[in-house]
Amino acid sequence: MVEIAQRVAELVQIPSVNPLHAGPKSGDDGERQISSWLADHADALGADVVVDDVVDGRCNVYARFEGTSDRAATIDVHLDTVGVEHMSDNPFDGRIEDGRVYGRGSVDTKATLAVVLQVMTELHAAGQRPVRTVNLVGTISEEGGGLLGATRYRDWLLDRGQTVEQIVVAEPTMCAPVHGHKGGIGLDVTVHGHAAHSSKPHLGANALSGAARVVVAIDAEQERLAALEASTPVGKGTVSVTELAGGLARNIIPDACALYVGRRTAPDEDIDEVRAALCQLIETSAAPLSTTIESLYGDGSPGFYQDPESALIRSLAQLADAAPTTAEYGSNALRYGEVAHELVVFGPGSIDQAHQAVEWVDISQLERAVDIYRAWLTQ
């Protein structure tokens, strides 16, 4: 199916690097160009299109393709990609060779966008409509910034008193329905000390020492979490320090140290309780030094878990001939628990190719996904 490979290649050739990942190779346009492209193409296929400015001219796109029944489904595709500065070839050439489409976003996750548009194009050309109403939703800011696009779409629905029967969140899952993954909390922590000459450390308060105590405490907390029993196939919560920065000069006792604490949450954990306990751990271990703790990209999310026996999971599993599974990564599914009766993460290609120096998707996976979506949306 040449058309689907060419469609993915066309989308790859539209740079849409998340501004938080942008660099000299990526430009600074973010998702603006691809949002405009999606709005125009969905309109040409007969969809009712809403362009929703989320932040700084970066827009979600909500394209509604009216069905022939009273059933409806939303397919969420994030429009942003990760950065390209580490890529070893042209990130936006979209070349097609060796049975693959190459380039940033080819698998994560412009593949699903191309697949759904391929099915809608076929139906439009045949003068047909899908059986269920299809809400194709392009969201910004999944790869960084706190899932702003998904949060906005959720709130857009809630403001209108609407829920959605089924939501499919596009990610590369090798066309296996993913029914659960962890949530998370990110804490930006500053440990405050007092500067002094390094020849007289007793006159200062070393912020690095306080931060070191935090790191040791977080490592001990990870050991505690690892010893727990998992209550779902998603697994147990985890916690780690992944960034640490501080120091003014080699002869100055540092007055501040910044660190990032990432906590992955299991589906059965209460997000407020986890946050409170983690903040208390940080404050206690840094003492007698004080701390500032912020959640710069939102308050965090509990884990996502959908019963694998639900109708949506069983239907996609049957169509794909693939067993339901869980994932280690996160997705926009973390934002949709309030508005989706059934929720799944699903799409062509492997997550192992995402974010790599060379990114690609197998054309055979694209073709398989087209067959699955065609069957699902017309039944």
Whether residue 2 has pLDDT greater than 80 = no
Cα separations (Å) of 330 from 303, 335, 352?
Answer: 9, 11, 14
* CATH code of domain 183-294: 3.30.70.360
Identity (one letter) of the amino acid at 124?
H
Cα–Cα distance, 153 to 75 (Å, whole number): 12
How does pLDDT run across 192-223, given as a tens digit for each residue? 999 999 999 999 999 999 999 999 999 999 99
Q: Which residue's structure tokens are 């910044």? A: 258
What pLDDT score does 297 carry? 76
Give the model confidence (pLDDT) of 285-316 as tens digits. Answer: 999 999 999 997 777 888 999 999 999 999 99
Give yes or no for a contact between 74 and 164, defined as CB atoms under 8 angstroms apart.
yes
Tokens standing for residue 226: 């690892």
Tell me the C-alpha distance between 34 and 30, whole Å.
9
For residues 164-169, give the mean pLDDT: 96
Looking at 71-80, 90-99, 298-307, 346-355, which range is the least confident one?
298-307
**Mean model confidence pLDDT for the chain:** 96
Taking only the tens place, the pLDDT of each residue in 38-77 is 999 999 999 999 999 999 999 999 999 999 999 999 999 9
Q: Cα(122)–Cα(72) distance, rounded to whole angstroms? A: 19
Domain positions in the chain? 2-180+303-377, 183-294
Q: Is the pLDDT of residue 1 over 70?
A: no
Peptide bond into 238 cis (omega under 30): no
**In the predicted model, is pLDDT for residue 159 greater than 80?**
yes
**Measured between alpha carbons, how far is 257 from 210 in angstroms, rounded to an integer?**
8
Segment 86-100 shows an average pLDDT of 94
Confidence of residue 78 (pLDDT cuts 50, 70, 90): very high
What integer pLDDT is reported at residue 379 of this predicted model? Answer: 86
pLDDT at 10: 97
Q: Which CATH number fits domain 2-180+303-377: 3.40.50.620, 1.20.200.10, 3.40.630.10, 3.40.50.150?
A: 3.40.630.10
Model confidence at 163, pLDDT cuts 50, 70, 90, reads very high
In this prediction, residue 299 carries a pLDDT of: 79
- The pLDDT score that the predictor gives to residue 89 is 86
- Whole-model pTM? 0.91
In the chain, the percentage of residues whose pLDDT exceeds 70 is 100
Q: For CA atoms 93, 94, 95, 97, give the dihedral sign.
A: positive
Q: What is the mean pLDDT of residues 11-25?
A: 95
Phi, psi of 188 (to 5 degrees): -90, 115
Residue 85: pLDDT band (50, 70, 90) is very high
